[in-house]
Amino acid sequence: MLEVDNLTAGYGDIPVLRNVSLKVEPGEILLIGGENGAGKSTLLRAISGFNKPTGGTVRLGGEDITGLPPEQAARKGLRLVLDGHRVFSELTVYDNLRMGVAARRGDRAGFEKTLEEIYDVFPILVEKRNARARDLSGGQQQILALGQAFVAQPKVLLCDEPSMGLAQALLPPILSFLRRWAEQGTAVVIVEQHLKVTQPYTDRAMIIQRGEVVIDCPSTQLDAELAAMHEARRSAMASG
C-alpha cells in the first residue's frame, strides 16, 4: 500500500533524511522510533508532501505520489496526524469530526457509522461534541485529531507521536484503537518514543538515527535488536 524507496529530504541545503526505505501493507502497523532530531517527523512530512523530497520515491497503492502537495496526497488516501494542533479551534468537536467527511465526498451513512465507532472508543468526544475545539485539553485535541482522521478513512495513516502532551495512560487506548483501525485494512505508520508501550501493538519496527535506518525488524525482535545495537556500541567505545 505504502512503499517508500531511498527517500532523501532536508531543509534548505541541510540534508536530514538519507535513503530511507519502508513498506507498509493494509492491516499492518509500522513503528518508527529514534532520538529527538533523528528525522522521524521529517520522514512523515516528506512522505505526505509537507516537505518536498530531494530524492527517492513514495508510492501509494502502486501510484507514484512523490512530492505531491499534501491536499492532493490526502485526496488519494494518505493522511498525516500531527500532535493535536491541526484541529479547527473555532469549530465544535462535532463539526471538526464532520470535516473528515469532506475527504470521503460526503458519504453520510458511512460518516454516522464511523462516528459511532469513534464515540464508542473515546466517549469524551460525545460528551464534548458541542464544545469548541480550543476549549479542549491538549490530550482531548489529540484524540479529536485522530477522530477526524478516522472519519476520513484514509488508506494510509501516518501518526506523529500520538502520546505527545498526553497523560501516559491515554497511549494504550489510542494504540488499540489504531490496531482496530489497521484491522479494517488501513496501513498505519506510527512515530512514537515510548517503544516498550507501543511495540506490542505493531507489526514491524524501525529505528532512525541521524536520518538513517539503523534497525528494521519484526516488532517482536525490537528489544533484542536494540540490545545488540547498544552492546555493539559499548564494545566499540571500550576498544577506543
Looking at residues 39 to 58 of the shown chain, list those that interact with Mg ion (rule: CB under 5 A).
40-41
Q: What is the smallest separation between the CB atom of 12 and ligand ADP, expressed in angstroms?
A: 7
Are the CB atoms for 187 and 218 separated by under 8 Å?
no
Closest CA to 216 of 55, 47, 32, 58: 32
Q: What is the smallest separation between the CB atom of 10 and ligand ADP, expressed in angstroms?
A: 7
Q: What is the smallest separation between the CB atom of 203 and Mg ion, expressed in angstroms?
A: 21
Q: What is the smallest separation between the CB atom of 164 and Mg ion, expressed in angstroms?
A: 8
3-class state of residue 78 by DSSP: strand
Select 44 or 118, whichever has its Cβ closest to Mg ion: 44
Residues 6+ positions from 216 with CB-CB distance below 8 Å: 22, 204, 205, 206, 207
Q: Which three cell numbers stand for residue 202?
A: 505493531
Looking at residues 173 to 232 of the shown chain, list those that interact with Mg ion (rule: CB under 5 A).
none
Output the CA torsion sign for 77, 82, 84, 86: negative
Select 42 or 141, whichever has its Cβ closest to ligand ADP: 42
147 interface partner picked from Mg ion, ligand ADP, none, CB below 5 to 8 A per type: none
Are the CB atoms for 181 and 157 separated by under 8 Å?
yes
Output the CA torsion sign for 110, 202, 94, 96: negative
Residue numbers of the site for ligand ADP (CB under 6 A)? 11, 16, 34, 36-42
16 interface partner picked from Mg ion, ligand ADP, none, CB below 5 to 8 A per type: ligand ADP
Span near Mg ion by CB under 5 A; candidates 32-40, 59-67, 120-128, 170-178: 32-40
Binding stretches for Mg ion (CB under 5 A): 40-41
